[in-house]
Amino acid sequence: MAGLSRNPDQLLVDFPRMKLRRVTYRYRGELKRKVEMGDIASSTAARRMSSVVALYRWLINEGLFIPENAPWEERTFNLRMLNSHGQSLNSVINSADLRISSNRPKTPFDGLIEDGGKLRPLPVCEQKILVQAAATLGNGEMYLLLLFMLLTGARVQTAGTLRVGDFTEENVKFSQGVHEGLQIYKLRTGPGTGIYTKRDKQGILHVPLFLFQLLRTYAVSERAH
Mean confidence (pLDDT) of the chain = 82
| pLDDT tens-digit series, residues 125-173 | 888 888 888 888 888 888 999 999 999 989 888 999 998 888 988 888 8
| pLDDT tens-digit series, residues 66-97 | 888 889 888 776 666 655 555 566 666 677 88
Q: Which CB contacts under 8 angstroms, 24+ apart, belong to 93-100? A: 96/53, 96/72, 97/72, 97/73, 98/24, 98/25, 98/28, 98/49, 98/52, 98/53, 98/72, 99/46, 99/49, 99/50, 100/28, 100/31, 100/32, 100/35, 100/42, 100/45, 100/46, 100/49
Tell whether 84 and 167 lie within a shared domain. Answer: no
With respect to residue 225, please indicate whether it lies within any of the assigned structural domains.
no
With respect to residue 102, please indicate whether it lies within any of the assigned structural domains.
no
Tell whether 36 and 73 lie within a shared domain. Answer: yes
Tell whether 76 and 119 lie within a shared domain. Answer: no
pLDDT, residue 1, reads 44
Tell whether 28 and 92 lie within a shared domain. Answer: yes
Total domains, the chain? 2
With respect to residue 69, please indicate whether it lies within any of the assigned structural domains.
yes
Domain that holds residue 47: 8-96
pLDDT, residue 5, reads 45
With respect to residue 145, please indicate whether it lies within any of the assigned structural domains.
yes
Tell whether 92 and 121 lie within a shared domain. Answer: no
